[in-house]
Amino acid sequence: MALDDKMVEILVGVSMKIKALPLSPHNHGDRWIWGGDKKGGFTVKFAYHIAQNRILEDDFSTPNPSATLWKHLWQAPVQGNVKVCVRKAAANILPTRSRLSERGIDIDTQCPFCDEEVESPIHALRDCPHAVSILQVANIPTLTNASCVANWLIAIYTLAPAAFSPLLMLIWATWRNRNSRIWEEDCKSAHELVPLTLGWWNDYKAAHVHPVRDNGLRVLHKWCKHSFGFIKLNVDAAFNMDTGLAGLGGIFLDHEGSVVGGFRHTLEVANSPRHAELLALIHGVQLALDHHLTPLVVESDCMDLVQAIPGSSLDHSDLGFLLSDLRALLIAALGARVGYGKRTTNLVAHSLAQEAKDGQFSVNFFTNCPPSVEAFVFSDCNDSPSMN
Ligand SMILES: [Zn+2]
């Protein structure tokens, strides 16, 4: 029976996917992996995000400002217990008297402070004279058009973003003060409560919020000379999203910046850009071992791989076995380390990878620099600062 064109197309697609599976040449056992996380490990946090996205997809026709609210809330520079309290208020599940009554608890629903209104979350936190006095002392807008706590918070971060984090702190403090009044018959005035709460907030920020975060990685903006006697390997990969075709490239330089070797390698198919970048690292370090190019320092512009390499923990993702192989090669290369460099410091390897993607190269190790990248070597390695 002849296969029709459609069937051939499907089979070719399937065979390409099988070929692109990132397999390690070493003998690792099969295992289950969780596709929701780059490291392949299941966490409740990722399951939560997937569930949230499903809910948002179901309601995709209308923009969902509450999704942005949760994002602002989780990223705000305040303690976790403040976020949990505000989240309950915004989700309308803070156990105010009205909410307890709605859930079948036989309780007086009047506000314990003013005894004039039903104690709903928005009343307790914004509209009650107790809350109003706190917001006034802190100079936070009440924006009474917003009908519930979630809408009030959305309006605040839209209209007065600087007031958003202080408001989170004060919502938490207002609710705490309310509970002290009910359970301990102790209650602070707004003039005591506001400076105390904002003081705690400032202490928290001083201890936990850092102005510049670089994930602990040294970021190089220009190719740098390295320690005497060391060989520096820069690698890169190029990937065609449509065809899966990938090119790997790498260049070995001595501490003076002279080329001592390099490679170009064309891959018929890779699974992802990250897969290609990882294979470029593996090929490069293997060549360093084969040609005795040690001690070695390695540089890649793939930030998340560079971050994943130093850990010794098992990576459960589809690339986990290859990552273990790379770690073993790095140990064999006298404990070589992989650092991150911006793409602008990686022009030679980048060009070699592009050439490999667009041509047909096997892992051939060259010692004479190809003329096509000579200019990049010269511009990368001159007038550069020392890395020692
Ligand atoms: Zn009240």
What is the domain range of residue 327? 231-381
Domain count, the chain: 2
What is the Å distance from ligand 1's center to 170 Cα? 16
Work out the average pLDDT over 116-145.
94
Highest mean pLDDT pick, 25-34, 106-115, 343-352: 106-115
Q: Answer whether residue 138 is part of any domain.
A: yes
- CA distances from residue 82 to 78, 87, 88, 254, 385 in whole angstroms, order as listed: 7, 8, 10, 54, 46
pTM beyond 0.85: the answer is no
Q: Do residues 195 and 236 share a domain?
A: no
Q: Do residues 151 and 286 share a domain?
A: no
What is the Å distance from ligand 1's center to 359 Cα? 75
What is the Å distance from ligand 1's center to 198 Cα? 23
- The tens digit of pLDDT for each residue in 185-225 reads 888 999 999 989 999 998 888 887 665 444 444 444 444 55
Tell me the pLDDT band of 125, cut-offs 50, 70 and 90.
Answer: very high
Q: Do residues 78 and 198 share a domain?
A: yes
What is the Å distance from ligand 1's center to 125 Cα? 9
Q: Do residues 187 and 249 share a domain?
A: no
What is the Å distance from ligand 1's center to 118 Cα? 7
| Bridge-based pairing state of the strands 337-340 and 246-253 | unpaired
248, containing H or E segment: strand 246-253
Q: Answer whether residue 301 is part of any domain.
A: yes
Q: Do residues 69 and 189 share a domain?
A: yes
Query: Which residues pair with residue 298 across a beta bridge?
Result: 233, 338
Q: Answer whether residue 150 is part of any domain.
A: yes
Pick the more confident residue, 36 or 181. 181
Examine the pLDDT at 386 and tell me if it is beyond 50: no
What is the Å distance from ligand 1's center to 150 Cα? 19
- pLDDT, position 380: 62
Copy the structure tokens of residue 292.
């005795």
Domain-ending residue, one of 208, 243, 270 = 208
What is the Å distance from ligand 1's center to 81 Cα? 24
Q: Do residues 72 and 183 share a domain?
A: yes
What is the Å distance from ligand 1's center to 100 Cα? 16
Q: Do residues 244 and 360 share a domain?
A: yes
Vertex 384: Cα angle to 383 and 388 (nearest 5): 135
d(CA 265, CA 269): 12
Q: Do residues 173 and 264 share a domain?
A: no
Examine the pLDDT at 1 and tell me if it is beyond 60: no
Q: Do residues 185 and 247 share a domain?
A: no
Highest mean pLDDT pick, 178-182, 330-334, 335-339: 178-182
- pLDDT, position 210: 60
What is the Å distance from ligand 1's center to 131 Cα? 8
For residue 354, the tally of other CB atoms under 10 A from its CB is 18
